[in-house]
Amino acid sequence: MSLQPGDALTSHNFGLQIDGVMVEFLQEVSSLSMEQDVIEYQQVSADGKPVTKKLPGVQKAGQCQVTRGATQSMAFTEWIKSSISGDMGSARKNATIIMMDYQENPVRRYNLRNAWCSKVEVSSVKAGAASALTEQVTITFEELVIE
């Protein structure tokens, strides 16, 4: 691995796999989030003093946003179509966000279990503009496993 003690991963070396297949082109992955409930438990100690404990509760589903150029890459487009049409048998897939070191070796994986596309937003189009057409896709998932 090319990371030395104290080095951090860079944010530009990443990839996204859907069911083990690397997505061809991505501009950005953002807002990766998952949370769990916090249980507050109060009791009285043997000497009569109140004690408050916090315990982990139920894990909630999460989501992230992926921005990609509007390319001819059909695998991602078919996934979006399956999700939006409600074909959940085809739409639920396992996705992985892979963070890589300077030599493009995988260092950290964020595994999104039973992921599907819940929202698609296409960038503005304007006559005379000199910009790329992008799609921002919200990916919803049931479980996040970090490796």
**Length in residues, the chain:** 147
Provide the b/e sequence for 125-146 (b: ≥16 CB within 10 Å).
eeeeeeeeebbbbbbbbeebee
Per-residue pLDDT tens over the stretch 9-55: 777 888 899 998 888 778 899 999 999 999 999 999 999 999 999 99
Tokens 């921005």 locate to 67
* Domains observed in the chain: 14-146 (2.30.110)
Q: Calculate what percentage of the chain has a pLDDT beyond 90.
A: 66
Which residues of the chain form beta strands (DSSP E)?
14-18, 21-22, 28-33, 36-44, 50-59, 62-69, 93-100, 106-122, 134-141, 143-146
Per-residue pLDDT tens over the stretch 44-103: 999 999 999 999 999 999 999 999 988 877 888 899 999 999 999 999 999 999 998 888
pTM value is 0.84
What are the distances in angstroms from CA 110 to CA 14, 19, 47, 63, 138?
Answer: 11, 13, 46, 12, 16
